A and B are shown apart, each in its own frame.
Chain A
Amino acid sequence: MATLRELSRMPEMLVPGHRMCAGCGAPIVVRQVLRAAHGPVVVANATGCLEVSTTVYPFTSWQCPWIHTAFESTAASLSGVEAAYKSLKRQGKISQEIKFVAFGGDGGTYDIGLQSLSGALERGHKMVYVCYDNGAYMNTGIQRSSATPKGAETTTSPVGKVQAGKPRSRKDLTKIVAAHNIPYVAQVSPAHWNDLYAKAEKAFAADGPAFLNAIAPCPRGWRHDSSETIEMCRLAVDTCFWPLYEVENGKIRVTYKPKEKKPLVEFLKRQGRFNHLFKPGNEGLLEELQQEVDRQWEALLAQSES
């Protein structure tokens, strides 16, 4: 396990000068994950905030090779890069060990890119796919995705006279990915940097595809102060809204159990996107959300090996 001091001295692949918002969770996830690559890495990026804000031509914030093709095509494009690597290495045209990692938001991963992700996982390309999940289409201005939590207000799940934010529960992508029976799948949170770093190391070391689902708050979309990003990440874990666990060769293990599980409202009440839930008449919805988190957490604990 590396210390924070050691981590802070590692070379940066994503350097300052980019245009990501203050407090954005995505670049924190990227910087933490790439520290665990330990060697040359090629990055693929789905269309989204991270892509548009870090590569405004003729500038780039990326110190490593980087490729973006389209919104839904990231896993497929990176599988082409990895296939080229295998072919050229087999022919003796490349000798270096290179690792491959994709970054996509929840829109590019849970929704439009799910097919190409699923295909790449099934084909067994040796790559790490990292979803930075901020729970909506933030790049286009906060529209709901299938990762948006139930009850959250977005511009396409607005609060109105007959609707209290998003009416449907979020998709459990981590479980869907785990169902591909790939070597390594994990949920991570930048607040738990040591847990994230250890999981990223395992992901890069896996003999086949690996997937990390990282919670990545968006101060604009979640409507919290940009100084509170890491706190939101921690609250998501401590309320068990975002459990930290891994699925390693089929074995599920919860990697962090909060000493005291906090009520979900402590996570919700800090974010403007849930303001309406605290108005009179929505108590039942809050209760329902708590019950759903409890149910999923208990189910996960029951599956966990230790």
Chain B
Amino acid sequence: MASRQHVAMTGNEAVAHAMRQINPDVVAAYPITPQTDIVQFFSQFVADGVVKTEFVTVESEHSAMSATIGAAASGARAMTATSSQGLALMWEMLHIASGYRLPIVMPVVNRTLSGPINIHCDHSDTMGALTTGWIQLYSESAQEAYDNMIQAVRIAEHPDVQLPVMVCQDGFITSHGIENLEVLSDEEVAQFIGEYKPVYSVLDVNRPITVGPLVLPDYLFEMKFQQAKAMEAARRVILEVGKEYGRLTGREYGFFEGYRLEDAERVIVVLSSTAGTTRVVVDELRRKGEKVGLLKPRVIRPFPASELREALSHARAVAIMDRAETFSTQGGPLFCEIRAAFYDAPERPLMRNYIFGLGGRDVGTSQIEKVFADLAADLARGSVKTPVSYLDVRE
């Protein structure tokens, strides 16, 4: 594609389009609802000869990640894509991808984990992967999923990072919804991501290396320390790449997006597509003179604790929405981490958690209005009565 275009695409199509433009050396993937379209679109690109990719049609997601790791260790730009059970089946290999410092980019179309089985959106799949050493970017829309894909390549491959990246979008809501977005030209993408120059490769037979040896207590700790340092370095790189992408497209990306946040007294923190619904409610309430706002995290691995604290420092009441239940009985993962970020803060807003939207339970404006109303009641009371509650569930 020679020039920038405005196109109508689903989230899955936008991600597949980005993959075509990234033109990876190897893609190894297995179909799963709601990610399937990505694999189908990409299969067609391969069949039409518009990518240079060697496409490995593996027999499971475990093998998808295993083959992607093998390809990445061979100095190839390697990708896969998955959802839900597929991500769960990869779990063992997710740690190996990050532990081997392989810059793999993987779109994840968020879907709830069984059981019982359900194909619809929540974030239990990727929230279960918070400890796997992958960078996680969340996308509200097809546009953001596309933009995150392009940036993820640069973030993953940066010499100071060398870590895999998940690009998440909401199953069906975003993945199957058609929206208008602007896509870059193929040349712009090629130029932005640049040529991949791996430092090591198992295909370099003149300089043989041993990948994945047995590492005992005398060295493993140092390797994990270096991995943690790389995740720390990713904080800087994510911002640099986001700025550069902004100069190219006019769409700059940071750790999160604030909407009418500056003077907001009541704030909802929510990931991905629900942020769009929240934005509508913020506008409605603002028209009525209510000081409400939205904070939509984009990056939660690495976790931008100090930046989130700063951005929420003026708020008086904050509702943190988790589309995942991790059964700690102390609230969802986003809530626990943001609340922990305020431990050392001189002033802390009232903070409460909602578990919402599990298994694709729809979240409309009325539910978001209720959350803002609950925050108002907390403020009037001066305290949070129910720190963790379940939004729109039959108790």
Contact = CB atoms under 8 A, between A and B. Distances in A.
Interface of A: 40-42, 44, 51-52, 55-58, 60, 62-70, 72-73, 76-88, 90-91, 94, 96, 98, 115-116, 118-120, 122-123
A84 B210 contact: no
Contact of B28 (A68, A80, A118): A80
Nearest to B209: A65
Contact of B213 (A57, A72, A84): A57
Contact of A65 (B53, B59, B93, B208): B208
Given A76-B58, A91-B25, A62 B211 contact: no
B67 interface: yes
B100 to A, nearest CB: 8
Most buried by A among B28, B53, B96, B213: B213
A80 B203 contact: no
B58 to A, nearest CB: 6
Nearest to A66: B210
A86 to B, nearest CB: 5
A51 B54 contact: no
B214 A80 contact: no
A77 B204 contact: no
B70 A57 contact: no
B2 to A, nearest CB: 22
Interface stretch (B71-79, B131-139, B273-281, B358-366): B71-79
Contacts of B208: 62-66
Contact of A76 (B26, B62, B213): B62
A80 B67 contact: yes
B56 interface: yes
23 contacts: A56-B216, A57-B215, A65-B202, A65-B209, A65-B211, A67-B70, A67-B202, A68-B211, A70-B93, A73-B62, A76-B58, A76-B67, A79-B58, A80-B56, A81-B74, A81-B202, A84-B25, A84-B78, A87-B26, A88-B25, A91-B25, A116-B59, A119-B59
A68 B213 contact: yes
Nearest to A83: B54
B235 to A, nearest CB: 28
A65 B213 CA distance: 12
B224 interface: no
B92 interface: yes
Contacts of B25: 84, 87-88, 91
B52 interface: yes
Interface residues of B, number: 44
Most buried by A among B59, B60, B62: B59
Contact of B70 (A58, A60, A64, A76): A76
B70 A84 contact: yes
B63 interface: yes
A55 B210 CA distance: 8
Given A80-B74, A83-B54, A69 B205 contact: no
A79 B60 CA distance: 13
A109 to B, nearest CB: 15
Nearest to A96: B205
B202 A88 contact: no
Contacts of B292: none
B116 interface: no
Most buried by A among B53, B64, B92: B92
B70 A77 contact: yes
B56 A83 contact: yes
B112 interface: no
B67 A67 contact: no
Nearest to B68: A80
Nearest to B97: A69
A85 B203 contact: yes
Given A56-B214, A98-B203, A123 B57 contact: yes
A293 B234 CA distance: 60
Interface in B42-60: 52-54, 56-60
B227 interface: no
B212 interface: yes
Given A80-B72, A88-B74, 12 more contacts: A60-B210, A64-B205, A65-B211, A69-B96, A76-B28, A77-B66, A80-B73, A81-B202, A84-B25, A84-B75, A87-B76, A116-B60
A162 B84 CA distance: 45
Nearest to B59: A119
B69 interface: yes
Give the 5 A-B CB pairs with smallest separation, nearest first: A80-B70, A119-B59, A80-B67, A55-B213, A84-B74
B219 interface: yes
A114 to B, nearest CB: 11
Contacts of A94: 203
Contacts of B72: 80
A77 B26 CA distance: 12
A98 B208 CA distance: 13
Given A65-B204, A66-B202, A72 B62 contact: yes
Contacts of B78: 80, 84
